[in-house]
Each structure stands twice: as C-alpha cells, then as structure tokens.
Amino acid sequence: MTIEQAFMVGVGLAIAVGGWFFKRIFKLLDDGASKMSTLEVDVAKLKTTSSETHSRLDRIEEKLDRLLER
C-alpha cells in the first residue's frame, strides 16, 4: 500500500466517523425538538387548568365574602 492509498483510507475513515457523529447529533436534536413540542402542549394544558382553578377560587372567595358580610 502506498502513502497515497493510506492517506485516502485515513481520509475516508475520518469522513465516515464524522458523518456518523453528525448523524447522531442531528438525531439527538430531533428527539429533543419532539420532546419540547410535547412539553409545550403540556404547559399549555396546565396554564388553562390553572387559570380555570384561579377563576373558580375567586368566585368561591366572593361568595364567602358575601356570606361573611351577612
């Protein structure tokens, strides 16, 4: 094997390993993006539930105030 062939094999291996790393990194980024979109939906649901709970508690508080004023 000549030096040129050894160099070409080394470059080929380096490109293959680099491509594998890039593929892995992009897969991890895609997985993170899908998890983040799921979390966004969950946060929106929690905000809605929280606002509904606060409005119910405010109404209950108003009713208690009216009862205490009597």
Domains of the chain, residue spans? 32-70
Q: Calculate the dihedral angle through the C-alpha atoms of 16, 20, 25, 27, rounding to the nearest 10 degrees.
A: 140
pLDDT tens profile 3-46: 999 999 999 999 999 999 999 999 999 999 999 999 999 999 99
Q: For the whole prediction, is pTM greater than 0.75?
A: no
- In angstroms, rounded to a whole number, what is the distance separating the alpha carbons of residues 18 and 25? 11
Residues 6+ away with beta carbon under 8 Å from 9: 1
Distance CA 55, CA 30 (A): 38
Please state, in angstroms and rounded to a whole number, the distance separating the CA atoms of residues 45 and 21. Answer: 36
